[in-house]
Structure 1
Amino acid sequence: MIVITLTKVPPSLRGDLTKWYQEIQTGVYVGNVSARVRDQLWDRVMRDIGNGQATMVYNAKNEFGYQFKTTRKDRRVVDFDDIPLMKRLNTLEEPVKLGFSNASKYHRARLSSRKALKPEHPGHSERSTQLVAIDIETTGLDAVKNQIISIAAFKSIGIKECQHFDAYISIDQPVPENIVKLTGITDSKLKDEGIELVDALRSLKKFVGNLPIVGYNLEFDDKFISLGFKKYNQSGIDNKMIDLMPLVKKANRFLDNFRLNTVLKKYDISNEHPHEAYADAQATLALAEKLIKNGDLVI
């Protein structure tokens, strides 16, 4: 059995889910579908969720007999000796600033604040803050069952200067056909160019050093990377982590959706190879810099 709870999501998403699940109470959906359909529907939830939140509970072969996923920013799903736990994060809501109850007032407030935060010499602010943007590609969405196949990171080191790290990861299973179509990563590419995950993680940790790490929907990447370090009994990365998605949602409440490609277009950032870790990490760094320049991200 599968249970999905939704809050503050677009009506179109709720209507879409009723094709597969029964809505037994407002925002609570129950159904019994295959794992493939379940994962595809969760992808659809992630794609169309807008400003809302979703949590899914489903059958799994572990101590409790179930596993769960969530989009909540104040919770994180963690694995403790094959036992799924929901970790409460110590996050504090920032006080709501004036003008949010009305769209026009909100936009006027945003424009005013951005003008006030704009530096006198805009060119001097480019890459003045050192940080690292990371992105990964995987064989699926489940960090326990699926594997990392590509890791990339871009590090700003000064004005208009950056360094990059990227690696393909050899795995012990075929790359699913839908992932090949999405990422362009094939079994032969991983065989020819892939390295062991443990070596990639060690190199990544050395590359990021102690700099702040940014990502888009960073919880997804962090979950896979953390479990990778745990698999090899290695200490993970404990740097400051900043997810850009909630910052974008706060700054742009009226976007049609918050998929990375949509957000990049909003900020006039080019990404010619979406779903390629190298390109996505580079675009994520550019997005972080735009958010810093606009005053929406403070490192």
Structure 2
Amino acid sequence: MICWFPMTELQQVLVVLDVETTGLKPEDGHEIIEVAAQKIQGREVISEYISLVATNRIIDAATEKVHGISNALLAVEGRPGSEVFPELVKFIGQAPIVGHNINFDLGFINAHLKRLGMPLLQNQPVDTLSQARRYLLMPSYSLEKVAAYLKVPQPLAHRAKADVETTREVFWKLIERAKNGKT
């Protein structure tokens, strides 16, 4: 179940997460090629985890155009998923996970964990997409559109760390709107 936090729980540690992938469906063999996560408490970033993930899958030109991650970059800087995903799980711990369309990210992560024979993440998801739909009246709810609507600065879109930073700020803007009853 995707939850939304009451204001009294906002001082607990949360993890804001984003992944970049080779496509949209892990069941079709698409894979995570970049992951970023920030541990936050209140508005403070406590720590972060960022890694490119090596893949044997060829990244097509259209996908590379979206996030700028190439096969050449992954060949040099990508790390094996067998290293990245255990580190990521340890980093996340039991914290609730915040993301924009978080079920997409968790679906990919859990597909990788399953392939590695690891337990699936059971953390409480907090979805900024569903909350944007609840509190904002817009024609599109992509992270970029929601951020622009809320006047959140957007660094390099479609890279995991930049999207985590944008999602984190969108999260706080949506919390403020919920608190003030604004739409």
For this structure pair, what is the TM-score category when the shorter chain's length is used for normalisation?
Answer: 0.7 to 0.9
Equivalent of residue 150 in structure 2, options 254, 260, 267: 267
Q: Which residue of 1 aligns with 2:25?
A: 142
Equivalent of residue 178 in structure 1, options 56, 62, 69: 62
Alpha-carbon offset, residue 141 of structure 1: 0.7
Distance (whole Å) between structure 2 residues aligned to residue 198 and residue 91 of structure 1 = 28
What is the SS of the residue equivalent to 1:135?
A: strand
RMSD: 2.3
Equivalent of residue 224 in structure 1, options 101, 105, 108: 108
Alpha-carbon offset, residue 156 of structure 1: 0.7
Q: Is the 8 A contact 2:19 2:105 kept in 1?
A: yes
Equivalent of residue 89 in structure 2, options 184, 201, 205: 205
Alpha-carbon offset, residue 128 of structure 1: 3.5
Alpha-carbon offset, residue 200 of structure 1: 1.0
Alpha-carbon offset, residue 242 of structure 1: 1.4
Distance (whole Å) between structure 2 residues aligned to residue 162 and residue 283 of structure 1 = 16
- After TM superposition, the score normalised by the length of structure 1 is 0.55
**RCO greater where, 1 or 2, for CA within 8 Å and sep 6 or more?**
2
Distance (whole Å) between structure 2 residues aligned to residue 159 and residue 172 of structure 1 = 38
Aligned counterparts, 1:216-255, within 5 A = 216-252=100-136, 254-255=137-138
Query: Are 1:190 and 2:74 an aligned pair?
Result: yes
Alpha-carbon offset, residue 163 of structure 1: 1.6
Q: Is the 8 A contact 1:153 1:282 kept in 2?
A: no
Q: Which residue of 2 aligns with 1:214?
A: 98
Change (3 A) 1:255 1:198: same
Alpha-carbon offset, residue 295 of structure 1: 2.9
Q: Which residue of 2 aligns with 1:164?
A: 48
Q: Is the 8 A contact 1:270 1:283 kept in 2?
A: yes
Change (3 A) 1:205 1:169: same
What is the SS of the residue equivalent to 1:295?
A: helix
Which runs of 5 or more residues in structure 1 are unaligned? 1-89, 93-116, 120-124
Structure number with larger C-alpha Rg: 1
User: Which structure dedicates a bigger proportion of its chain to strand?
Assistant: 1
Aligned counterparts, 1:1-299, within 5 A = 128-144=11-27, 145-157=29-41, 159-252=43-136, 254-295=137-178
User: Which structure dedicates a bigger proportion of its chain to helix?
Assistant: 2
Alpha-carbon offset, residue 91 of structure 1: 7.7
What is the SS of the residue equivalent to 1:131?
A: strand
Alpha-carbon offset, residue 241 of structure 1: 0.9
Which runs of 5 or more residues in structure 2 are unaligned? none
